[in-house]
Amino acid sequence: MRFAPGSHVDEFEIVEELGEGAYAETYKARDTDTDRVVVLKMINPQLFADPHNFARFRREAKIVAKLDHPNVLKSLDDERNRTEPYLVLEYIDGDNLRRYANTLGGPVPLQTALDWGRQLADALVYLHSHGIVHRDLKPENVLITADGTLRLMDFGTALLDGAKRLTWRHFSESLGTPDYMSPEQIKGNRGDARSDIYAWGVLMYEVLTGRVPFGGDNWMATMAAHLQVDPKPVRTYRKEVSPQLDAVVLKAMRRYPEHRYQSAEELLRDLEHLDELDPASFDLSPEPPMGGMAAIDSAKRLWAFVGLVAVSFIGIVAIIITLSVVLR
């Protein structure tokens, strides 16, 4: 169900639609009781027929309700009874990191990039200390306020400590965006705090160079590259990046989780003391390819099945048309 500007949902008046995804729609709205502008995140009603998707919504609601950090989007829900399930979130008069960076017309200034990296690392320290793994850190999920403060948002795929697995592992728990997914998520594992650190590294690599470290003609090729290809140093594309910052980003992106920073606290500590780091002390040697591309293989089988069904359907239609012509 789509809501037009001027329509009402409980005490909220819809101002405009902000975005639409496979999972949810977001609206800018005005709280008629307080005159405060908020964001309403409406879950696609068709998904509530699936108990797993409803559980996913409940999990996101539980997660955002407990968050209170300057670099994390806040929940404004007052726990009133609602006519339908939705989230009430803080409205930020700004843009996401993707669009903001694109408007610069060139690389992000180094000091700005470093400041962003520290803010996001601080947000990860907070989330992980509360048992939350975001699992979908990417520029589209980072908002920038007018004063340059970042807000991490969208916890639809986040994992809460102790939460049970919701659906089939190879499709539901390998959630994320291929460019930023950690190798262990690509393999079909749930991931942990180190998966967010990996995504942080990919995001910073892109902010600093204007490109993601792993490309490909399609999403399967990109996912395979995460498992098999070593990223080029950041300084390959931008010489003014310090060897220390280059080493920090590459360490965050190590293919095997045990080779990365083991905590966001450790990552943030290095970011705050870059001048004291010795890049030669970082083990950034080539890593062996990681096997077991379960999620990719599962996806290939799915698409092969879909293709077979489509071809069979076309064949049946062709037979019916041929018979109708012959029997005339």
pLDDT for position 14: 96
Distance between CA atoms of 112 and 95, rounded to whole angstroms? Answer: 16
> Buried (b) or exposed (e) across 66-83, using 16+ Cβ within 10 A?
ebebebbbbbbeeeeeee
The amino acid present at 258, given as its one-letter code, is E
Contact 41, 87 (CB under 8 A): yes
Q: Name the strand (E) or helix (H) holding 314.
A: helix 294-326
Predicted confidence at residue 50, as pLDDT, reads 72
pTM here?
A: 0.84
Whole-angstrom Cα distance, residue 57 to residue 80? Answer: 17
Q: Which residues are catalytic?
A: 136
* Bridge partners, 132 (sequence order): 160
- The owner of tokens 């018979």 is 323
Tell how far CA 14 is from the center of its chain: 26
Which residues in 2-112 belong to E strands, given as ranges?
8-9, 12-20, 24-31, 37-43, 86-90, 95-96
Domains of the chain: 8-90 (3.30.200.20), 95-294 (1.10.510.10)
**Average pLDDT of adjacent 10-residue blocks, the chain of 328 residues:** 89 93 87 96 75 81 92 90 89 92 86 97 98 95 94 92 52 63 93 97 96 88 94 97 98 98 98 97 96 53 47 60 61
User: CB-hemisphere CA count at 13 Å for 249?
Assistant: 25
| Residue 269 pLDDT | 98
